Chains A and B, each alone.
Chain A
Amino acid sequence: MTGRREIRCEVDGRDLTVTVPVRASLAEFLSRNGAHVGVGCETGACGVCLVRLDEQLVRSCTMLAVQADGTTVHTARDAELADVRHAMSIHSAVQCGYCGPAFALTIGELTDPTSVRADLCEVTCRCTGYTGLTAAAAMVATGCAGCTPAEPLRRNEDARLLSGRGEFVGARNLPGQLAARFVRSTHAHAGIVAVHSVAAESPGVVAVLTAADLPPTTAYLPGAAEPTLAVDEVRYVGQPIAVVLAESAEVAEDAAELVAVEYAPRTPLLTPDGPARPLPVFERAEVVLDERFTVPRRTGMPMEPRGVLAAWGEDGLTVWSSTEHPQQNRDVLAKALDLAVDEIRLAPGDVGGAFGGLYPEDIVVPYAATRLRRPVKWIEDRDEHLVSISH
Chain B
Amino acid sequence: MWPAPFEHHVARSAREAVDLLGRLPGAAVLAGGLSLIPAMRRRLRRPAHLVDINEARDLAQIDAFAGALSVGATCRQDTLAGWATGRAPLLAEALAHVGTPQTRQRGTVAGIVANGDAATQLAAVCAVLEADVLLRDEAGVRRMAAERVFAEGGVTGPALLTSVEFPTWPAGDGYAFLQSGRRAVGATIGGVAARVRLDGAGTCVHAAVAPFLRGHDGSRLAAVAKRLVGTGLDERDIADAADLAAELVTPVTDVLATAAYRRHLVRVLVRRALARAAVVAA
Binding site for B on A (CB under 8 A): 1-3, 5, 22-25, 42-45, 47, 50, 56-59, 61-64, 66-67, 106, 119, 121-122, 249-250, 253-254, 257, 381-383
| Selected contact of A122 from candidates B37, B42, B50, B100, CB within 8 Å | B100
Q: List 11 A-B contacts (CB under 8 A).
A: A3-B5, A23-B2, A42-B41, A44-B185, A45-B185, A56-B102, A58-B102, A62-B34, A106-B102, A119-B101, A121-B184
Would you give the shortest CB distance from A270 to chain B, in whole angstroms?
15
CB-based contact A50/B102 at 8 Å: yes
Residues of B with C-beta under 8 A to A25: 37, 41
Interface centre among B8, B54, B184 (most CB of A within 10 A): B8
Residues of B with C-beta under 8 A to A50: 102
CB-nearest residue of chain B relative to A3? B5
CB-nearest residue of chain A relative to B2? A250
CB-based contact B103/A56 at 8 Å: no
| Selected contact of A23 from candidates B6, B103, B105, CB within 8 Å | B6
CB-nearest residue of chain B relative to A70? B55
Cα–Cα, bound, A45→B33 (Å): 13
CB-nearest residue of chain B relative to A47? B102
Cα–Cα, bound, A122→B184 (Å): 9
CB-based contact B42/A383 at 8 Å: yes
Cα–Cα, bound, A61→B39 (Å): 12
Number of A-B contacts (CB under 8 A): 85
Residues of B with C-beta under 8 A to A122: 100-102
CB-based contact B185/A253 at 8 Å: no
Would you give the shortest CB distance from A212 to chain B, in whole angstroms?
27
CB-nearest residue of chain B relative to A250? B2
Residues of A with C-beta under 8 A to B50: 64
Any A CB within 8 A of the CB of B43: yes
Cα–Cα, bound, A41→B170 (Å): 42
CB-based contact A381/B1 at 8 Å: yes
Known contacts A5-B8, A59-B103; A64/B37 CB under 8 A? yes
CB-based contact A56/B41 at 8 Å: no
Residues of B with C-beta under 8 A to A64: 8, 30, 33, 37, 50
CB-based contact B37/A62 at 8 Å: yes
CB-based contact A43/B42 at 8 Å: yes
Q: How many residues of B contact A (CB 8 A)?
A: 29
Known contacts A43-B42, A44-B38, A122-B100; A23/B5 CB under 8 A? yes
CB-nearest residue of chain B relative to A45? B185
| Selected contact of B34 from candidates A23, A44, A249, CB within 8 Å | A44
1/0 per residue B5-30: CB within 8 Å of A? 11111000000000000000000001
Interface centre among B34, B37, B38 (most CB of A within 10 A): B37
Any A CB within 8 A of the CB of B3: yes
CB-based contact A62/B38 at 8 Å: yes
Any A CB within 8 A of the CB of B4: yes
Residues of B130-189 whose CB lies within 8 A of A: 184-186
Residues of A with C-beta under 8 A to B1: 42, 253, 381-383
CB-based contact B37/A44 at 8 Å: yes
Cα–Cα, bound, A64→B3 (Å): 10
CB-based contact A22/B8 at 8 Å: yes
1/0 per residue B28-63: CB within 8 Å of A? 001001100110011100000010101000000000
Any A CB within 8 A of the CB of B106: yes
Residues of B180-229 whose CB lies within 8 A of A: 184-186
Known contacts A2-B7, A23-B2, A47-B102; A63/B37 CB under 8 A? yes
CB-nearest residue of chain B relative to A379? B1
Cα–Cα, bound, A119→B9 (Å): 35
CB-based contact B38/A66 at 8 Å: no
Residues of B with C-beta under 8 A to A121: 100, 184
CB-nearest residue of chain A relative to B1? A381
CB-nearest residue of chain A relative to B38? A43
CB-based contact B8/A66 at 8 Å: yes
CB-based contact A67/B38 at 8 Å: no
Cα–Cα, bound, A58→B106 (Å): 7
Residues of B50-100 whose CB lies within 8 A of A: 50, 52, 54, 100
CB-nearest residue of chain A relative to B76? A56
The 4 closest A-B pairs by CB, nearest first: A43-B38, A381-B1, A250-B2, A45-B185
Residues of A with C-beta under 8 A to B8: 1, 5, 22, 64, 66
Residues of B with C-beta under 8 A to A381: 1
CB-based contact A42/B38 at 8 Å: yes
Residues of A with C-beta under 8 A to B106: 56, 58-59, 62
Interface centre among A62, A253, A254 (most CB of B within 10 A): A62
Would you give the shortest CB distance from A48 to chain B, in whole angstroms?
12
CB-nearest residue of chain A relative to B32? A62
Cα–Cα, bound, A250→B54 (Å): 26
Cα–Cα, bound, A57→B186 (Å): 19
Cα–Cα, bound, A59→B38 (Å): 11
Cα–Cα, bound, A257→B2 (Å): 12
Would you give the shortest CB distance from B37 to chain A, in whole angstroms?
5
Would you give the shortest CB distance from A113 to chain B, in whole angstroms?
16
CB-based contact A254/B7 at 8 Å: no
Residues of B with C-beta under 8 A to A2: 7
Would you give the shortest CB distance from A50 to chain B, in whole angstroms?
7
| Selected contact of B33 from candidates A23, A63, A254, CB within 8 Å | A63
Residues of B with C-beta under 8 A to A23: 2-6
Cα–Cα, bound, A336→B176 (Å): 62
Would you give the shortest CB distance from B261 to chain A, in whole angstroms?
15
Interface centre among B34, B41, B50 (most CB of A within 10 A): B41
Residues of A with C-beta under 8 A to B184: 121
Cα–Cα, bound, A155→B54 (Å): 43
Cα–Cα, bound, A341→B80 (Å): 62
Cα–Cα, bound, A24→B184 (Å): 26
CB-based contact A257/B43 at 8 Å: yes
